Each structure stands twice: as C-alpha cells, then as structure tokens.
Structure 1
C-alpha cells in the first residue's frame, strides 16, 4: 500500500468498481472528484459503464451527475461482437485508452457492474504489468452495502485482483462500507462479513465508512442527478423552490446534507484517499464548509 503517493510526486489512479449494481460506486466516485476539484487538483475522469456502441449517445451515470462541471470520458463496457468479427485485434485494443490513462496516473475511473473482469482479461492478454511497472500506483476502491452478497462480491474482487496483480498491479485496496442502504450491525457475526474482514487484514485493506445521508431531499438528489458541488452551492432557501418544500423543511434538509458532506469528506481524508498538502491554497475544510 503506497500512502506516500501524494507526497512523492506520483499521483495515483483510482478504480471504483463492483460486481453488482446499486452499491454506491458512482456516489463514491463523485466524492473523490469533489474533494480533488475543491483542492485545485482535478482528476481526469473516466466511466466504463455505458453501452459502448460506436456513436452511442448514452451517458454514464457519473457523466449525468457531473454534466456542465467535469468532462467524463466514456469508455463503454467492452468490445462488441460486431467489432470482434470485423477486426480480430479489437478486443486487445479496446481498453488501451484506459491503460494509457492508468500509465499516466491522476485518473478516476468509475467502472460498471462486473466490468472489472474484462479489464483484467485485457491486462493479462497483453501482459500489461510490464508497462505498469513504472506507472503511478493504482488503487482499487470497492463499495459494499449491508447485504451478504455484497460482502461476498467484495472479497471475490480482491481475490481476483490478487490473482491478476502481475498484469494489473493494485497498490492499495479500499473497501467503503456504504450505509445509505442500511447499517452493517446485523451482518457483523456472519461468515460473509468475517471472510471479508479476513481479506481486510491479510491484504492491509483500508476501510472507510460512508454514512447515510438523512436529508429529506436525498432521493430527489439521486433521481435528478444533482452533483455534490451543485448541492453545496445552494442556500437552504433555494431548497424551497428546487424541491418544493417549506422553508422550515428546507432548513432541515440543507443542514442534514451539509453535515453529511462534511462528515464524508473527513472520512475520506482520514483514510488518506485524498491529498493532504497544507501548501494548497484551498483546503478540504474550506471547500466542504464554504462551497
């Protein structure tokens, strides 16, 4: 685990991925992008969870959230059958743009459900590990929710990453316990939880808790793809017109959202997922508290 990457001049790459949907990967990608952007150290942002067909106008979920604020490079989810039939090298070339970005570092990649295996397959086929030997560290961030299968999926991803580290070397694993869909208390004695925590210990995995946002407008924020930055810039009075609620409900909703965002930024800072350079003019605290 390379926790010195921010101070040695090497800017790590972040791959945020899961085996199944609905785990909070796009929210976590947003949090990372929000913090880096606020510190004046923007990341290159990619998404690998769209249809991927040539000429497709489909936007990834992350791109919909960041529209107008950040350019998101759409990678799709893999080569199409038509492309393989017309060009035998298409499969080997498909993830080359991703590979080049990881080789340079300072990139955030939001990876769709179960896309990671195809990336590992690509890395294996071209023996990408030799290229990544001198690249900045690659960090794999795995969100989990309070479901037994989610815990199993997270352990399986770490297992797969370890089996393929010769070809796609992961320098650091991060498991984010996403409590937006429920707490993990009832799972703490299950075999699935114990198995995951064994991986945490054995592979020096960083654990981060992403608390539940209790704001009454949270579902509308998610449903309308409103970014964290856009929400932070709203005065509580803006909530009344944007969400159609009373001024008193708006005051409570804004308080709950701002409190959640501040706690989330602090949790990611404590886990050293973001740079902590005091020389940067605008600190995370300033950005989180003042927008």
Structure 2
C-alpha cells in the first residue's frame, strides 16, 4: 500500500509498538519528525502522532497530502492555549519575542516568532533578542528552562497530562528500590522531578544519553511507549518505566493507519494565511537547530 500510494509513515516515539517497530519508515521526536517531513519525497505522509504534529508536516509540505489516521488524536497541552491567548500575552508584553513549543496548533504557531522542541528549547530561547521571552504553552517546561536560561521567561499555564503524573516521591522510591539507577526525565515533568533526574530532555536526548552510557539500569519518566523503542534498541539494558500512557497517541492503530492510506481519509488541511506564518516560526526553529 505504501508503494502504491508513494507514501511515507512518520511515527512518534510514543506510538504503539506494532506501529513504532513494525511499519514506521521514520520514528523520532517532534523535531526529528519536523525535519523528516520537510525533506521527504513521498506524495503522501501518514502521520502516526497527534494532530499538531500532522499539522506541522502539512505546514512544511503544503503540496503533499498529509493524513492522520484518527481524528481523536489530540493533545492536552496543545489544547491548553489558543491564538487569541497568544495575542493577549503579546499585548501585555509588547516587543517581547514569543517562543512556542511545537506542541501547539498551527494557529498558535502563526502568532509566535519561533517554535522549539524539548531538545532545542534552551538554544532557541537564548537566540532571541532582549532579556525576556514569552514561552507557551507548557508551564513545567518553562520552569525547568528558567533554571538554566539567562533570560526571564514569561510562561503560559498549560501542562501535559502524561508528564504531570510523575512525582518526586516516585523517583525517590525507585532510587531506593534500584540502587545505581539512572533517572531520565522529560522536560515536561514537574521541576521537582527534573531536579532529581540524572538527565532531563526530550526523547532523542534520552536515546543519546543511554547510547553513550555504560550504566545498565534506567528509570524513564516519560510516556511508556518510549520503553518499547528503548528495549528494542538496547536489549542489554534494563528500563524501569512507571507507566503513564498518552490516550491520544494510542488512538492510532494498525487498522486505522491502513484505512487512512487505502481511502486517503482524514487529510490535514491548514489555511494558507495561517500556514505561511506558522512556517516562518518552524523554519526559524530548524535554522537555529542546525
């Protein structure tokens, strides 16, 4: 079916194992998928991720058909803010550059100066002019970034339901139960969780850390689908994963991927005026990330 449609299947690291390890042409984090979407030669992109990710692929590839296998694959973080909210923030802080995490809608991206991912957020923030930046929508990521950033961060109040579920008490309990455990936390986790981690970052940062480490046992504080990928790539290492499932990511199944490709259904569309503005923010992110 992929050959027939000249399609590529892009898959986020949180997907079901049968998709992530079985049918994906490319698996990665938000940034990696953005770059891959930008350079693909396929006519059709089947995006196994949540809606804002598929929108990003469409923004970068307006001439291609982008499909999302389930319309229910939303995002609690992306839905926490609207374009109107961004305009209000900017009016309250005139002249302050607005940085948006890629976990946002196309309309929100269009109102911001630049996008960022968990992997490059600090680099993007420090590249902005002035001493202050607006950062939307993740309040925990903003707090974690503020601990390392030289600029003042003006944050929104959104949060991810997956990463909000991890606690400092959990981390301490696991450290007690598993001596020598290395703790890897996503930067969307609460600051008190991140402060206890040996490494904090995005999913690609986690993969790179594990690949370079001689340690054998890791606690992974992120969506538990990530552990499937890690166990496949690092069979000689042990991964402790207090399971926190993203219900939106799990809306994607093998069956609805096949149906989307067969019928070319659930095509993602972005109005051209919104797309052009959002693309500038994404292009700037990719340029800074080089």
Is TM-score (shorter-chain normalized) higher than 0.5? no
Structure in which a larger fraction of residues adopt strand: 2
* TM-score, L = length of structure 2: 0.29
